[in-house]
Amino acid sequence: MDGHIDLQRKGAADAPFYLAQGDECALFHAASENDLPVLLKGPTGCGKTRFVAHMAAQLGRPLYTVACHDDLSAADLIGRYLLKGGETVWVDGPLTRAVREGAICYLDEVVEARKDVTVVLHPLTDDRRILPIDRTGEEIEAAPGFMLVASYNPGYQNILKTLKPSTRQRFVAMEFDFPAPDLETRIVAQESGLSEDRTAALVRLAGKLRALKGQDLEEGVSTRLVIYAATLIARGMPVERAVEAAMIEPLTDDADTKRGLLDLVTAIF
């Protein structure tokens, strides 16, 4: 199983829109110039993937994005022998391609992947910068420009699925959170086409829903969901219906909690 693998090649001119929350662009830039691997920590849907896509374009490097899942193994990243037209041929996985090409490899939600994945990352994240491929006997030195970026959501996994210190301490780590309300309003308005005035109320509601995290809700509403709600409203859906579908239903299945959240909506709109 390959996970979802995505190759992007973009230049600075068509870098995807990203509004910085602080000095993360400068930090990422400095890390990339010094061959340091980067770990992005933060809740789902707060802009980590967009940030990496933006930075890859700014730096003019190809980007291989792998959405990790619990079945993803080292072989999915490195490659495997496949039968092609009666012949067995070696096919590089996305990590190997990135190592050879000097690309950025982004492992999204890396803690979800199988344990053997972290073993592969170790020799790539110290100054050796090599990828040993046991199956072919090759040992590939990372091409200039290769950068390993991984993300995880510290608040969400169970305790068994956290990164081990021996792995974590190989990365420069950056913490992400939901953007401050004024920034989030600009982001949501830009992504959805809804006016900033109307977006501001959605962002206020998102703040209230996030404050309930840990009480009634496991996760606060993500920027992604606020964008969904704004997009539905911009396309003519009534506000309450759009908010219910995009910002409430995805958060909980519990009928009482849902009713409580809908009351919050009525209080704000």
Instruction: Report if residue 45 touches ligand ADP, rule: CB under 6 A.
Output: yes
* Cβ 235 to ligand ADP shortest distance, Å: 16
Site for ligand ADP in 222-251 (CB under 6 A): 223-224, 227
Size, binding site for ligand ADP by CB under 6 A: 17
Residue from 7, 11, 17, 238 touching ligand ADP (CB under 6 A): that is: 17
Residue 187 binds ligand ADP (CB under 6 A): yes
Scan residues 123-182 and list those touching ligand ADP (CB under 6 A).
179
* DSSP per residue, the chain: ---EEEEE---GGGPPP---SSSHHHHHHHHHHTT--EEEE--TTSSHHHHHHHHHHHHT--EEEEE--TT--HHHHHEEEEEETTEEEEEE-HHHHHHHHT-EEEEETGGGS-THHHHHHGGGSSTT-EEEETTTTEEEEPPTT-EEEEEE-TTTS-GGGSPPHHHHTTSEEEE--PPPHHHHHHHHHHHH---HHHHHHHHHHHHHHHHTBTTTBSSPPPHHHHHHHHHHHHTT--HHHHHIIIIITTT---HHHHHHHHHHHHHH-
Question: Counting contacts by CB under 6 A, is residue 48 touching ligand ADP?
Answer: yes
Please say which residue, 19 or 268, places its beta carbon nearer to ligand ADP: 19
Could you say whether residue 46 binds ligand ADP (CB under 6 A)? yes
User: Which residue's C-beta sits nearest to ligand ADP?
Assistant: 47
Q: Rounded to the nearest whole angstrom, what is the least distance from the CB of residue 129 to ligand ADP in the complex?
A: 25
Q: Please give the residue ranges that form the binding site for ligand ADP (CB under 6 A).
A: 17-19, 42, 44-50, 179, 187, 191, 223-224, 227
